[in-house]
Amino acid sequence: MASTSDIRNGLCIKYNHDIYKIIEFLHVKPGKGPAFVRTKLKSVTNGKVIDNTFSAGHKIDEVRVETHRFQYLYPEGELFHFMNVDDYNQIIINKNTIDNPELMKEGEIVTIIINSEDEMPLSVELPANVILEVTATEPGIKGNTATNATKPATVETGAIVNVPLFINEGDKIKVETVKGTYKERVKE
């Protein structure tokens, strides 16, 4: 049993007959009244995100997890195939377990969180940033960078990312995987 003081990003807990991963939290100590912890919880079974507030000292059921490095192999409809980089065992994971699956390219190394009790994969974490090539976008207009204007661009994985106007087809860009947003252009 853990308490609210043990809450951290990435912690997996049992709550309302499901397993949730804490994706955001904030300890609040108001001037009047008891302290509490405001959290955003993501269900590892269906991907649904809920907001919840725990009072200070509330007991939470922590789920024991292991993290393993896997290489993304290929998609098959709603299923994604991964291979453990240590022992070469392969597993298949449903699309809703993955945060931003459209940003994964084949061969990418990801971290998979596995429940220690039943060896069930709980979530797939991509690296903080991925480098992807722009495959389709409107041509850039020279000198039109005074504003923060953006345009949609399709990257090699099929995802659509809003990029600045100076980005052209064939450019490589760094994309933040948590939000799925453009970060910077990558020079070769």
Distance CA 109, CA 71 (A): 4
The C-alpha angle 167, 172, 175, rounded to 5 degrees, equals 90
Averaged over 94-98, what is the pLDDT? 80
Q: Which helix (H) or strand (E) holds 157?
A: none
**Is residue 165 pLDDT above 80, yes or no?**
yes
Distance CA 21, CA 42 (A): 5
Within 13 Å and on the Cβ side, how many CA atoms surround 74? 1
Token pair 């300890």 is found at 27
Closest CA to 122 of 25, 19, 7: 19
Distance CA 27, CA 35 (A): 8
- Contact, 174 vs 163, CB < 8 A? no
Averaged over 14-30, what is the pLDDT? 88
pLDDT tens readout for residues 117-143:
888 888 888 888 999 999 998 886 666
Residue 119 is predicted with a pLDDT of 84
Distance CA 53, CA 38 (A): 4
φ and ψ at 139, to 5 degrees?
-65, 145
Give the dihedral sign, CA 46/49/50/54: positive
Structural domains in the chain? 2-62 (2.30.30.30), 65-125 (2.40.50.140), 129-186 (2.40.50.140)
